[in-house]
Chains A and B, each alone.
Chain A
């Protein structure tokens, strides 16, 4: 019975958060007061040049531009009251099972909500266009999306001239969490001419078996974690010790958003350090 339950849990782990959606009333007139419920969405509003319209952000937001803004809770536990108290014309949220009730309640109580999944590159492109439109800046949204598409084309072209490198992209060492299949990181690895050795995992952010990581013989291990905890132990393992190790700087590969283009270019340099830049 337990085995059956566990296999179900694995299947469910990659459940689709659903498409881009609008909940609640449509924004009336010009959108002047925006609340974001995730740092990636704050990045998006800032990249559109509409930072001055932000009136509230999540407690995980670290950008100095929003340092003085009120916090309205986290991704799983936004405070409905704190959001409503800011009288937003638009709430940007990343849909997830944990915040579904809170987000629905926000919409029921009259706050226009734009739900923007950010799991894949296509999601990010759609979110850039939709947010641009919602903020009355369709040109800027389109430009952001076009820029990312152009960067992808350019990097793919350069990667075609290079040998494909076997890469393990690590988000955390204790436990070992890596970039699995089906997410934006996996897509960008492919763009950069890398083979994701964890492509056999069950979800975009799987807790990966250390032995499997050794067996996969990665040539390059990319460290995108923000902590050193457990790193030395993993680094000392046979098969992983011999691989080339490199740090992914910044948050581009942690936060899906307008910085993905920069993240992709960085990824290409890390995967192919000898390639003509």
Chain B
């Protein structure tokens, strides 16, 4: 990961932010998301008869539609929106368009927490999600405390990278102590997958994500100025420390919540903001909500793809595998393309 300031983040938007443009872009992306949700709800192993399901919610068709498909699509949308919007905000804040939402130690902390919960057999207490959330928040607090000492965005970023490596080592150590079947569960969880959550878990997660996204969007104009550099932003009247702390807190809580719900789903927070930045420019006032909508649509489609793949593998591959398989090559292509342009 390079720590070179990226011209794509740093330049003020060449295209002006107008209400009409925002309405057009966000309206269009909302349409894409709704289409993705509709497609996802119609895809699966169980042949759902839509009219029958809606007429009789208590019928098997109705229960599959209302109890499985819709909650899972909503979960995918929440997690995708969280990862992509947080990615967009962190990339602006750290002035590095290659920053991943997991860089602040969040992935390592969450994975460590969840691995411990699985190793200890604490599933009965909503184990992995709860432990993942606590682990992610703890890691983030540690990383921010260490990063603050130097008041540089790169200090936090590097501390996060080091913490993730440390967490990976401890996880490997725990894995050697686990029985093969329990190890399988840990590996499956770490790969990132969308399962079936209780409605109240969804409601809680959804509330957290909406609050975090609202904070990020509210701070997006100041984020634009922050990407010019701390001194420049301060001279323009931005409360630098407060803004940075608020954005880091909101983004980290959002990512921690997403990881708790779905495990480690990679590349969404990298690819989606990247693609949209190329199309829309770096203005966070538009890029941030657009990333949320685009990320939601992307993950919903990736999750539907896991269900399409079921007859091939006799299992659903974790959605994190699908996002990595799609995202990895795409990202390399984007990088090369940018180098040619630059």
Q: Is B17 an interface residue (CB 8 A)?
A: no
- 1/0 per position for B299-340, CB-CB distance to A under 8 A? 000000001001001111000000000000000000000000
On A, residues with C-beta under 8 Å from B are 2, 5-6, 8-16, 59, 71-77, 79-82, 84-85, 87, 96-98, 100-102, 105, 108-110, 171-172, 175, 177, 202-207
Given contacts A13-B182, A97-B121, A108-B67, contact A79 B60 (CB under 8 A): no
Say whether A97 contacts B185, CB under 8 Å: yes
Pick from B41-49, B96-104, B277-285 the stretch touching chain A. B41-49
On B, residues with C-beta under 8 Å from A are 44-47, 60, 63-64, 67-68, 116, 118-123, 127, 170, 173-174, 176-182, 184-185, 188, 193, 195-197, 307, 310, 313-316
Distance (whole angstroms) from the CB of A77 to the closest CB of chain B: 6
Tell me the complex Cα distance, A17–B127, Å: 15
Distance (whole angstroms) from the CB of A68 to the closest CB of chain B: 13
Option from B170, B188, B310, B314 in Cβ contact (under 8 Å) with A98: B188
Say whether A205 contacts B60, CB under 8 Å: no
Tell me the complex Cα distance, A97–B177, Å: 17
Say whether A109 contacts B68, CB under 8 Å: yes
Say whether B185 contacts A13, CB under 8 Å: no
Given contacts A9-B174, A13-B178, A102-B195, contact A73 B67 (CB under 8 A): no
Tell me the complex Cα distance, A74–B316, Å: 9
Tell me the complex Cα distance, A12–B68, Å: 31
Distance (whole angstroms) from the CB of A67 to the closest CB of chain B: 13
User: Residue of B at shortest CB range from A111?
Assistant: B60
Tell me the complex Cα distance, A224–B193, Å: 33
Say whether A204 contacts B179, CB under 8 Å: yes
Distance (whole angstroms) from the CB of A47 to the closest CB of chain B: 23
Which of B120, B173, B188, B313 has the largest number of chain A CB atoms within 10 A? B120
Say whether A85 contacts B179, CB under 8 Å: no
CB neighbours (8 Å) of B170 from chain A are 2, 5
Say whether B64 contacts A84, CB under 8 Å: yes
Option from A80, A96, A97, A204 in Cβ contact (under 8 Å) with B68: A80
Given contacts A8-B116, A206-B179, contact A105 B68 (CB under 8 A): yes
CB neighbours (8 Å) of A206 from chain B are 179
Give the total number of A-B pairs whose CB atoms are below 8 A apart.
Answer: 119
Option from A14, A108, A110 in Cβ contact (under 8 Å) with B60: A110
Say whether A73 contacts B176, CB under 8 Å: no
Option from A5, A77, A101, A205 in Cβ contact (under 8 Å) with B179: A205
- Consensus secondary structure, chain B interface: helix
Tell me the complex Cα distance, A71–B123, Å: 26
**Supplied contacts A5-B170, A75-B181, 11 more A-B pairs, CB within 8 Å:** A9-B116, A9-B119, A9-B120, A9-B178, A59-B313, A81-B46, A97-B121, A105-B67, A105-B68, A109-B67, A177-B180
Say whether B315 contacts A59, CB under 8 Å: yes
Option from B64, B120, B178, B181 in Cβ contact (under 8 Å) with A96: B181
Tell me the complex Cα distance, A171–B179, Å: 12
CB neighbours (8 Å) of A2 from chain B are 170, 173
Tell me the complex Cα distance, A6–B120, Å: 10
Tell me the complex Cα distance, A71–B311, Å: 9
Tell me the complex Cα distance, A85–B64, Å: 10
Which A-B residue pairs are the 8 nearest by beta carbons? Answer: A15-B121, A12-B120, A98-B185, A71-B314, A59-B314, A97-B123, A9-B119, A81-B45
Tell me the complex Cα distance, A101–B60, Å: 19
User: Residue of A at shortest CB range from B120?
Assistant: A12
User: Residue of B at shortest CB range from A171?
Assistant: B180
Tell me the complex Cα distance, A59–B197, Å: 24
Given contacts A79-B315, A85-B47, contact A96 B185 (CB under 8 A): yes
CB neighbours (8 Å) of B127 from chain A are 97
User: Residue of B at shortest CB range from A177?
Assistant: B180
Option from B63, B180, B196 in Cβ contact (under 8 Å) with A102: B196
CB neighbours (8 Å) of A77 from chain B are 188, 193, 315-316
Option from A9, A73, A205 in Cβ contact (under 8 Å) with B314: A73
CB neighbours (8 Å) of A101 from chain B are 195-197
Say whether B188 contacts A76, CB under 8 Å: yes
Say whether A207 contacts B118, CB under 8 Å: no
User: Residue of B at shortest CB range from A109?
Assistant: B63
User: Residue of A at shortest CB range from B116?
Assistant: A5
CB neighbours (8 Å) of A82 from chain B are 45-46, 310
Say whether A98 contacts B184, CB under 8 Å: yes
25 A-B residue pairs with Cβ-Cβ distance under 8 Å, sorted by A, are: A5-B116, A9-B116, A9-B174, A9-B178, A12-B119, A16-B121, A73-B310, A73-B314, A76-B184, A76-B188, A80-B68, A81-B46, A84-B46, A84-B64, A85-B46, A97-B127, A97-B182, A97-B185, A101-B196, A108-B67, A109-B60, A109-B67, A171-B180, A204-B179, A205-B181
